């Protein structure tokens, strides 16, 4: 009987790994304009200070930001903003050429590409689909029965151990797949430790082992 080889997964964090910095600010400016983005950001300064002094958790500060900008917006409108952002110059300027080369390399090897990110799934998905990613595992917005955004997350912020849990939820037992993982921060620690081939803050030009 022919031995079945595990398939290969390439899991990329987004902010700081595929991009040069956090893409949320660029998405906010794209969606609301510079002046509104700055004004609401200034209003959020007390919340940022509470987060810095550990009075708010990572999930709480994210939900505070999302509420300030997106609460009450129809999900359909959010998707339209995400779609136009995916091809905007604002996003294109953030992309790291070395990360794009790495994505193309994995595609050429027939590997299965995933984004695993704490960023909001809505604005990741259109870009990921255009780049050949099979799925986006990310933080999800809570939507009311009427189809509007609440500002809260649906479930946990996709950060740290939640990245591994969500990836296993989608793919099943690790015995069935080999994992390349790319990250740049503490939020990627558990995913990188889980990977067969982890890359922290680096994009190798070539791989010695091909699966």
For residue 24, how many C-alpha atoms fall within 13 Å in the half-sphere facing its CB?
15
| CA–CA separation, 117 and 119 (whole Å) | 5
Domain ranges of the chain: 7-200
> What pTM does this model have?
0.91
- Contact of 210 with 40, CB cutoff 8 Å: no
- Tell me the CATH number for domain 7-200: 3.40.50.1000
Residues β-bridged to residue 112: 9
pLDDT in tens, 71-125: 999 999 999 999 999 999 999 999 999 999 999 999 999 999 999 999 999 999 9
- Contact of 199 with 182, CB cutoff 8 Å: yes
Q: What's phi and psi for 148, nearest 5 deg? A: -110, 155
First to last CA, the chain: 20
pLDDT in tens, 9-46: 999 999 999 999 999 999 999 999 999 999 999 999 99
């Amino acid at each position: 009987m022919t031995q079945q080889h595990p398939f290969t997964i390439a899991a990329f964090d987004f902010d700081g790994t595929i991009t040069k910095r956090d893409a949320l600010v660029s998405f906010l400016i794209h969606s609301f304009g510079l002046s509104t983005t700055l004004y609401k950001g200034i209003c959020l300064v007390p919340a940022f200070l509470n987060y810095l002094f550990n009075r708010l958790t990572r999930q709480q500060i994210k939900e505070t930001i999302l509420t300030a900008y997106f609460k009450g917006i129809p999900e359909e409108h959010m998707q339209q903003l995400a779609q136009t952002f995916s091809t905007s110059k604002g996003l294109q300027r953030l992309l790291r050429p070395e990360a794009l080369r790495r994505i193309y390399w994995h595609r050429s090897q027939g590997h299965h590409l995933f984004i695993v990110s704490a960023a909001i799934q809505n604005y990741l998905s259109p870009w990921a689909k255009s780049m050949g990613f099979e799925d986006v595992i990310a933080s999800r917005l809570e939507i009311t029965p009427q189809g509007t955004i609440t500002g809260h997350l649906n479930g946990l912020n996709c950060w740290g151990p939640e990245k591994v849990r969500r990836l296993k939820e989608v793919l099943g037992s690790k015995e069935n797949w080999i994992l390349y993982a790319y990250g740049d921060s503490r939020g990627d620690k558990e995913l990188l430790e889980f990977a067969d081939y982890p890359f922290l803050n680096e994009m190798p030009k070539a791989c010695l082992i091909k699966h």
